[in-house]
Each structure stands twice: as structure tokens, then as C-alpha cells.
Amino acid sequence: ARGSSALSSASSDAQLGRRQALFGAASLPTASLIASSPANAGGSCDVDKKTFEDGLKSKIGTIMSDCVLKDPPGGTWKDRCIRAFGKPEGGKACMTRCVMSYTQISKPCADCWGGLAQCTYDNCAMNCLTPDSKECTSCTASFCDKNFESCSGIKL
């Protein structure tokens, strides 16, 4: 019985670590977006430029965190994106749907945000336990930012 208790505790610790990593991954854009703006080059978010200029860029990090940790609009705890990461491209698809439901931005633009979240989870989750840390921003700069910027037309 003692061994199963130790296994249960180790499993709980591992789950907590993954949740913290995912929360960090979802929170990543918050700091970098405050200074960003849609690029002049074409991108999937060009059609949504006015929405970003009207204040969405300062809220997207919170929205992405909410998609991971809270029930999405019209959904339940079963629809939280934290449950989708770990499945191939599951996090991306969930984050895309959730960001669209919160913001009403176009699907191509929301796909870029979903891709950023999935990339961060896949490549930088352990570095992003503290989203604004140098380790996190350096990791996402190395692995994720260029694809996001190319997809969206938004400079991080």
C-alpha cells in the first residue's frame, strides 16, 4: 500500500508540473504582445488588424490562459484546452476554437495563435513555467516566434 501511495504522489507531482508548464506556455504572449503590432507584410491576421488595434493585442495573453485553464464560452471543464495538449495537434485545434470563441477573429488568424501555443508546449513548456522569464522568451524565440510571425503577420 505504501508503494501505491508513492506512485500516486509522483503521478500527482508530474500532472502538476505539466499543468504549470502549460499555463506558462499559454501565458507567454502577454508581455511580448503589448509592444507588438500587426506587420505590414501580409499575414493571416491582416483581416483582423482593426480588432488588434482596438485593444485585443493587450488581452490575447489572458484569453489564451483562460482557454487553457477555464471553461470556454458555452463549454464545460471537459472542453478546457489543458486536456487537449499531449494529443497530436490537439492543443492547437482546441486553442484555435477557443480563441475564436472569445475574440471573433478569423479562423486563419486564430490558427496562428493555436500554433504558437502548441509550439510552446511542444518545445518550451519546461522553460516557460515562468512565462516572462528569459529562458521562456529565448526558447520561444528560437522555436516558435518566426513561424507565428510568418503565419499571422504580427511581430512578437
DSSP 56-121: GGGTHHHHHHHHHHSPPTT--GGG-GGGTTTSTTHHHHHHHHHHHHHH---HHHHHHHHHHHHHHH
pTM: 0.72
pLDDT tens per residue across all 156 residues of the chain: 544 444 444 444 444 444 444 545 455 443 333 333 433 446 899 989 888 888 887 888 889 889 988 988 888 888 899 999 988 889 999 999 999 999 989 999 999 999 999 999 999 999 988 888 999 999 999 999 999 999 999 887
pLDDT in tens, 86-119: 888 899 999 999 999 999 899 999 999 999 999 9
